[in-house]
A and B are shown apart, each in its own frame.
Chain A
């Protein structure tokens, strides 16, 4: 592994290479073997090597840390390793490789016993199933290439599972399909969890009947996001460039924003209704460019719409500051809130008045023709 950089610049950056080796000199050398004991514990007399630490991580639980590492093997932890796709022989061979002594009989038995009971229950998801009294009939379905697209898997002589949608629900919540198959309405992860709580050791099954490994999500610190080969200086350069572009954009934006405010004030002194009408004429770039409407005008329009049961284009400023336009039919305006019905989405919404940027009446005739 390349030496880790502490910072881009500064003395630490230059000393990092040395610190790395200095630290390694101070720490005791990592230990690659462990002592396995008959009481199902293992002890690494020192700091384990990454390989050993990984093995123990997925095979045992840590009992105490410190100068040494002590771990305990339980049926539960061994099951975890088996879930991870390891086999009993593989696990035992790994342990034997790292162990100073032979693997104790009790531990050997524990692992083999866990492997024996592991995966005797299989859980999978099937969208629907096909059942028949006559196994021959089902065999015909399973073999028929016409049904291949259904993703049919034969669970038992008398049951087939399909990955296609069932057209009707035929059975009750929990149906015994065959002596060896149960169907559940819960999703596989829930079923797996429930079975594990009861001390069973199931494994998940894919649509093809093969075991699916349930590896836990490994969260790790997000790595270096810089592309390889890019020198820190170059990065700084890019950052500066980006910052320059942003500044230029912002400076250009400020006069426009100020201009919009002035324009809005000027508008207010003119006839407000005219402005509203103008906005309605071109609904696509309604209130946003012309600034916000005078609240009194907007509320007036809304009340009018309520009385006339008209629909309006309403522009609402969301919590993120982005305006959205919706076509609604206002129902009431009171207490600083507007209740309205969105006809298209068949939903009712309540809008705080201060969120309303503009309201434009829609001509009913227009609507009818539209």
Chain B
């Protein structure tokens, strides 16, 4: 028994006491192989998963090292079975390797003949591999590189991809950091630089950074390192425009070199930004825009918001295995549980930094999360109690009493840029009218949207009511208060995005406020509990106040 900060549970979770002297060293030691599951104020929970252990193997750590770390920092004896399990899981990675053979081209090579025999016998690898060269190697069809990796992961024998990448078409790209373009001089933040390096040395993979931590710059950094033609896949048109603006401002790229491939425009240029939506558009059962992927000899493919990648993009990515792939995301959690596809097709996690760390370094704003509980008047409670189950959430979420609460909150933060976020359009319209604020919904045109965003940026507008279209990738630099009145059933992802809206650092270092207005004793409150848990797990202090107490504060 030692005095370490770590407690290893038999269910493969690791409890790290953060106030311990060795906590920081321990965190650094376990970060490569354990996934941070939740990070509340005192004890963080990490989890050992096969994917995490394989991630560590891909990054060059071995089982001995992992076991050593656990033994070193653990306060109590570590269950022996767990150590054996770790060693066995990790030894499964890399027994199969994908290599570039001078004669046969792409080859699956085994360090363990039995494993090769086992996977070749499986029906799932049939058609993906070609001729057997000898007992240890078999030819792989280059087009099936991604599929094979996917299948091997599913079979529990993840292959190490050593086959390398095509160089792609060279194209000069540099970061402009000295202010020669008229902007203030800047540099990549240390963690952004580490993320770029981590990715580049690993070849392909995913960088996990919180919203507001400057993922776009990591992308730009990767492009400047690669200096090749780049395909950037983003979630929607607004996001595409923001990438474009950011690249123009931060790199040597000019307007002519950046193309937009979306529903509205179809330009293919050395750097092309395409939306998921246009790529997954089907006409007569075929994806009509897939030729974009072969339109140029791309040297780098960047996936923005990897946790949202639609299934067809995964299939396309499977065919892109010879190109470097960079995934950017705030969370590896996918509500559909396809984390393993991200691992096998885009690559292992190459860099990860917890929100709180970056906040402590002052790169993202500190935030206070407050849930305001509103007691419904008797008439509405009766209405709610007798409503059909499917209408209950809507009824509770769009309770008229919320208007007054929002009004009070807006008044309390008068002058600060405030976003009111909601799910139901009619509720939002009513709110906008009540507050006398502008509203952005799915029906708002792109130009109108950008006009409003611009007005919000300059401080002309201080309050903006937005629907869920603004959930992703809108870049409002100075929003410091977010008030959410309704959400999509307590989704964690949505909460992360909404919180991200206000986390960009404030010039005066002020605390951001994140309010959720919730109707008491309804399903609304239950969903809020779900979101509350997510925020608390991310380490944000969470307080609950009664709407009646707001006025007196």
Contacts and interface: CB of A to CB of B under 8 A. Distances in A.
Contact of B541 (A38, A43, A66, A67): A38
Nearest to B532: A106
Contact of A68 (B7, B41, B79, B532): B7
Nearest to B538: A39
B43 interface: yes
A67 B9 CA distance: 6
A39 B533 contact: yes
Given A35-B42, A35-B43, A66-B79, A106 B11 contact: no
Given A65-B9, A106-B536, A38 B41 contact: yes
B40 A37 contact: yes
B543 A39 contact: no
Contacts of A46: 75-76
Nearest to B45: A70
A64 B11 CA distance: 7
A139 B481 CA distance: 58
B544 A66 contact: no
Contacts of B17: 35, 45
A20 to B, nearest CB: 20
Contacts of B76: 28, 46, 67-68
Nearest to A37: B40
Given A35-B42, A35-B43, A106 B542 contact: yes
A315 to B, nearest CB: 63
B374 to A, nearest CB: 14
Contacts of A41: 40
B8 interface: yes
A297 interface: no
Contact of B11 (A40, A66, A100, A104): A66
Nearest to B5: A45
B38 interface: yes
B520 to A, nearest CB: 8
B316 interface: no
Contact of B7 (A66, A104, A106, A117): A66
Contacts of B543: 105-106
Contacts of A28: 1, 76
A67 B7 contact: yes
Interface in B18-48: 38, 40-43, 45
Given A43-B15, A105-B544, A68 B9 contact: yes
Contact of A37 (B41, B74, B77, B521): B41
Contacts of A66: 7-11, 79
A40 B9 contact: no
Nearest to B1: A28
B521 A117 contact: yes
Q: How large is the interface on B (under 10, 10 to 19, 20 to 34, 35 or more residues)?
A: 20 to 34
Interface in A71-113: 100-101, 104-106, 109
Contacts of B11: 64-66
B174 interface: no
Interface in A295-334: none
B494 interface: no
Interface of B is mostly: mixed
B537 interface: yes
Contacts of A64: 9-11, 13
Interface string B32-76: 000000101111010000000000000000000000000000111
Contacts of A105: 542-544
A106 B533 CA distance: 10
A134 B15 CA distance: 65
Q: How large is the interface on A (under 10, 10 to 19, 20 to 34, 35 or more residues)?
A: 20 to 34
Contacts of B521: 117
Interface in A318-352: none
A353 to B, nearest CB: 61
Indicate the member of B1, B43, B533 with the most A CB atoms within 10 Å. B43
A37 B535 CA distance: 12
Interface in A1-60: 28, 35-41, 43, 45-46
A64 B9 CA distance: 7
B40 to A, nearest CB: 4
Contact of A38 (B13, B75, B77, B542): B542
A155 B8 CA distance: 56
Given A66-B9, A67-B7, A43 B536 contact: no
B375 to A, nearest CB: 11
Nearest to A42: B43
Nearest to A106: B542
Given A38-B536, A64-B13, A109-B544, A43 B43 contact: yes
A39 B10 contact: no
A104 B535 CA distance: 14
Nearest to A100: B42
Interface string B530-553: 001100110011111000000000
Interface in A110-164: 117
A230 B541 CA distance: 60
Given A101-B42, A105-B544, A39 B537 contact: yes
A37 B17 CA distance: 12
Contacts of B542: 38-39, 105-106
Nearest to B39: A39
B38 A39 contact: yes
A67 B8 contact: yes
B20 to A, nearest CB: 10
Nearest to A68: B7
Interface string B284-299: 0000000000000000
A39 to B, nearest CB: 3
A40 B10 contact: no
A38 B539 CA distance: 8
B536 A37 contact: yes
B8 A38 contact: no
Interface in B495-553: 521, 532-533, 536-537, 540-544
B533 to A, nearest CB: 5
A39 B9 contact: no
A65 B10 contact: yes
A46 B43 CA distance: 13
A245 B11 CA distance: 56
B128 to A, nearest CB: 39
Contact of B15 (A38, A68, A101): A68
Contacts of A45: 7, 15, 17, 43, 75
A58 B16 CA distance: 26
A69 to B, nearest CB: 9
B15 A40 contact: no
B30 to A, nearest CB: 16
A114 to B, nearest CB: 11
A38 B534 CA distance: 11
Nearest to B43: A43
A38 B42 CA distance: 9
A316 B56 CA distance: 77
A41 to B, nearest CB: 7
A37 B42 CA distance: 7
Contacts of A109: 544
Contacts of B42: 35-37, 43, 100-101
A67 B75 contact: yes
Nearest to A101: B42
A144 B7 CA distance: 67
A104 B40 CA distance: 11
8 contacts: A35-B17, A37-B42, A46-B76, A66-B79, A67-B9, A68-B7, A106-B542, A106-B544
Interface of A: 28, 35-41, 43, 45-46, 64-68, 70, 100-101, 104-106, 109, 117
Given A28-B76, A38-B40, 14 more contacts: A37-B536, A38-B536, A38-B542, A40-B536, A45-B43, A45-B75, A46-B75, A66-B7, A66-B8, A100-B42, A101-B42, A105-B542, A106-B542, A106-B543
Please give me the 9 A-B residue pairs with the lowest Cβ-Cβ distance, nearest first. Answer: A39-B536, A66-B9, A67-B76, A37-B40, A38-B536, A66-B10, A68-B7, A109-B544, A39-B40
